[in-house]
Amino acid sequence: MAEDPRRFSIGYALAPKKQQSFIRESLINLARDRLIDLIKIDTGVPLIDQGPFDCILHKLYGDDWKKQLVDYKAKNPNVVILDAPESIERLHNRISMLQVVSELKFVRNDRDTFGIPKQIVIYDVETLQDHRSWEGLKFPVIAKPLVADGSAKSHKMSLVYNHGGLSNLKPPIVLQEFINHGGVIFKVYVVGEYVKCVKRKSLPDVSEEKLESLGGLVSFSQVSNLASNEMTDEKYYKMMHLDDCEMPPQEFITDIARGLREVMKLNLFNFDVIRDTRLGNRYLVIDINYFPGYAKMPAYESVMTDFFWNVVARREVTENEESEEKSELVDNIGC
């Protein structure tokens, strides 16, 4: 009688909102068909008392959770942690987040270039009010909280048009130069070696003439009203012809994604890219997020299942092959 095929267990520890959007029945069923069981980790019970798991998928923070992962790994050295907390933490700071872009050593493209917008971090009100400390930036600027931990507070951003708008900001914040980019943002999803780039609507361009007439500061939730007081958000973006917007070269984007993955040592992330309308072939990375909303990515279930399979099943096959090779080597030596 043939043995039942080996099944693999992936334990997931996610915040309720993330769990609801990501762990859908369609994903569970597809994974099950590939011999992968997605099992919810009970955060009310010590992790070390659960499992065993072949892989732990998580997006939880805090020293206690980090210690639990370390202890579990010590007891189960073959478990795969997606991803290492120390690698994720680099994305919790908007300055260190984008510094990784400068660490990329290669992108095989002679025509297109990439980088990040000019930005500075402001830690106190005194520095914020001292224009000399950040005179290298031009208005408008985007004001973002320094901490990017996924909380509602970390997502509160504003577009600042002049010095008057700065008085409404609360440090520590990052001021990032706003670059006109045609109202289109490219969101690049990375799942291991898989890279998918999609177009999304973004903030409308701001002309020099309009800049002089605008108020000091507008929250992102209000920016879509800037195009016209009488034009709805939907009509505005139809007017922009989003479907006609050219995508960045796939190989170019894939090279950036691969470089980021190697530098950050992360498997699950996305990054936002804009095209500088002043140059056309200049792309700027403006944000990087760990474990984003993958359910918004086309066919995310099959992409994630393939990735899970590569992580747990192919790895085991490789380990078995290496073990057999070592065994054969010992036998040959013994002969």
Interval 132-176: pLDDT, tens? 777 788 889 999 999 988 777 888 889 998 888 888 899 999 999
Determine the pLDDT at residue 266: 98
pLDDT tens per residue across span 44-74: 999 999 999 999 999 999 999 999 999 999 9
Annotated binding-site ranges for Mg(2+) = 272, 287, 289
Determine the pLDDT at residue 53: 97
Work out the angle between the directed axes of helices 25-33 and 300-309 (0-180°, nearest 10). 40
Residue 312 DSSP label: I
pTM of the model: 0.87
Annotated binding-site ranges = 18, 59, 94, 144, 155, 176-187, 202, 272, 287, 289, 293
Lowest mean pLDDT among 64-73, 95-104, 280-289, 313-322: 313-322
3-state helix, strand, coil in the chain (%, to 5): 40, 25, 35
Residue 93 DSSP label: B
Q: Which CATH number fits domain 94-290: 3.40.50.720, 3.30.470.20, 3.40.50.970, 3.30.930.10?
A: 3.30.470.20
More confident residue, 312 or 135: 312
Annotated binding-site ranges for 1D-myo-inositol 1,3,4-trisphosphate = 18, 59, 155, 187, 289, 293
Q: Which alpha helices (H) appear in the chain, and where do they start and end?
A: 16-22, 25-33, 63-75, 85-88, 94-102, 125-129, 163-166, 208-213, 220-223, 233-239, 250-264, 300-309, 315-334
Lowest mean pLDDT among 28-37, 207-216, 225-234: 225-234
Kindly tell me if the per-residue pLDDT of 256 is higher than 90.
Answer: yes
Share of the chain above pLDDT 90, in %: 61
CA distance linking residue 46 with residue 246, whole number of Å: 50
Contact 71, 85 (CB under 8 A): no
Degrees, nearest 5: CA angle 79-148-144: 160
Per-domain residue ranges for the chain? 8-83+300-333, 94-290
CATH T-level assignment (fold) for domain 8-83+300-333: Rossmann fold (3.40.50)
Q: Coil, helix or strand for 261?
A: helix
pLDDT, the chain, mean: 85
Annotated binding-site ranges for ATP = 94, 144, 176-187, 202
8-83+300-333 matches 94-290 in fold: no
